[in-house]
Amino acid sequence: MGIGVITNRYWLAQYGNGEWTTATGWQRPHKPLGLQLPCSQGSPALLDILTHGLIGGALAQSLAKKHRLLVASLAGFVGGILADIDILVRSSEDPLLNLEVHRALTHWLVFIPVGGLVAALILWPLLRRTLPFRKLALFTTAGYATHALLDACTSYGTQLFGPFSGNPVAWNLISVVDPVATLLLMAGFGIALTRRQAGAARVGVALMLTYLTVGGLQHERVRAQVQSIAAGQGHQPERLVVKPTLGNLVLWRTLYEFDGHYYINAIRAGFGTDAIPGDRTPVLDYQSAFAPLETDSRLFQDIERFHRFASGYLVWHPEQPGVIGDVRYAMLPHEVAPIWGIRLPANWRTAEGTVSFEHFRRTDVETRQAFLDMVLGRIQ
């Protein structure tokens, strides 16, 4: 199959209301969320936590003998979710604190032994009559070790190599929430727990690794396609990002930087690769755009902090005046409009006021249907 193409005009006629960037178009009311990350709210948060617990529990089960499968399940599950305790670190005076703290210290590889030990100490009063502490620590540490590695496989990433490097590692093999991955782990974990068969847990882990491998192969297919698209336009990408969309390995969001602009495309990687072209948007050079600000002002430093969080992928939000967005993430993979960003105070030129972290998620019927149609290849 070749590269299928649709135009933005056709897309808007089918799924929008004819307006791409105006307030009467796709804009939705926004609510400041402070430290609430889009990936840490509601059902997606529960599914994310469940997946971490299941893979931690499954690995611990794989290491346990039959008579200890129950306690191994509990210990591995607790170890698997404990690293996300950092989501509780909040500040009413600093809306960006959690962006820096979450998936940092507790997700470092070097912190795994400490995290496993803490999990064991938490469970020890409950399980001290059941097994030796060293066995408990083995199970909790095994579970804890899976957390950061799984996060690194997602489209969000984590600070895997801290404190030596603060750069987030995102292999972009699966999305932050992927029901297929969760179901594979749930099957292995559940069978191992109910039938006391560690082999089922090993199969579940193996299936998960196979699924991640498929994600890696899909990633490379899509990356090659985007490079081909860029070459066809005479572009030599300075940076290129390929990310799976929510809950599947078929539809991917891609963007690359060239000559001061980001070029965005959605790629459906089925038996062939179909491209749904998006738009281009100027790169936001925050140092030039905010040159009037003193570099030691809190406002400039907050912008700089968000720049680091977004790995430099900053744009002006096309639908939200005064909002700097992270262009790596959008509700639909061919769109520019970021799903989160920082809103500047109205009088930012005087360096007065502070930023707020906000999230712009659209869950209307049109957006959901558009996403589903893209995944199923209904648009050629």
Q: Which DSSP helix (H) or strand (E) runs through 31?
A: strand 31-32
Residue 358 domain-assigned (yes or no)? no
* Type of residue at 3: I
Q: How far apart are the first and last CA of the chain?
A: 11
Higher-confidence residue of 241 and 3: namely 241
Across the range 46-64, mean pLDDT stands at 96
Across the range 314-322, mean pLDDT stands at 96
Residue 134 domain-assigned (yes or no)? yes
Nearest to 341 by CA among 330, 352, 353: 330
Alpha-carbon radius of gyration of the chain = 22
Q: What is the pLDDT of residue 45?
A: 78
Across the range 60-66, mean pLDDT stands at 96
Higher-confidence residue of 25 and 299: namely 299
The predicted-structure confidence for 177-235, as pLDDT tens digits, reads as follows 999 999 999 999 999 999 999 999 999 999 999 999 999 999 999 999 999 999 999 99
Band (44; pLDDT cuts 50, 70, 90) = low
Across the range 63-89, mean pLDDT stands at 96
Residue 326 domain-assigned (yes or no)? no
Higher-confidence residue of 10 and 358: namely 358
Residue 359 domain-assigned (yes or no)? no
Given CA atoms 323, 327, 333, 335 in this order, what sign does their dihedral have?
positive
Assess whether pLDDT exceeds 90 at residue 12: no
Instruction: Let me know: does 361 contact 42? Beta carbons within 8 Å.
Output: no
d(CA 37, CA 43): 13
Higher-confidence residue of 118 and 20: namely 118
Residue 74 domain-assigned (yes or no)? yes
Q: What is the pLDDT of residue 43?
A: 59
Beta bridge partners of 280: 263
Q: What is the pLDDT of residue 15?
A: 33
Query: What residues contact 260, with CB distance under 8 A and at least 6 apart?
Result: 282, 283
C-alpha dihedral over 244, 248, 250, 252, to 10 degrees?
A: -20
Assess whether pLDDT exceeds 50 at residue 9: no
Residue 355 domain-assigned (yes or no)? no
Q: Which of 16-25, 110-119, 266-275 has the lowest mean pLDDT?
A: 16-25
Domains in the chain, number? 1
Q: What is the pLDDT of residue 219?
A: 98
Residue 122 domain-assigned (yes or no)? yes
Band (302; pLDDT cuts 50, 70, 90) = very high
Band (26; pLDDT cuts 50, 70, 90) = very low
Share of the chain above pLDDT 90, in %: 81
**Which range of residues forms the domain containing residue 93?**
42-215
Higher-confidence residue of 248 and 40: namely 248
Assess whether pLDDT exceeds 50 at residue 16: no
* Type of residue at 328: R
The predicted-structure confidence for 107-146, as pLDDT tens digits, reads as follows 999 999 999 999 999 999 999 999 999 999 999 999 999 9
Six token digits for residue 207:
């299936």
The predicted-structure confidence for 325-358, as pLDDT tens digits, reads as follows 999 999 999 999 999 999 999 888 887 789 999 9
Instruction: Let me know: does 304 contact 319? Beta carbons within 8 Å.
Output: no
Residue-averaged pLDDT of the chain: 88
Assess whether pLDDT exceeds 60 at residue 21: no
* Type of residue at 316: W
Residue 160 domain-assigned (yes or no)? yes
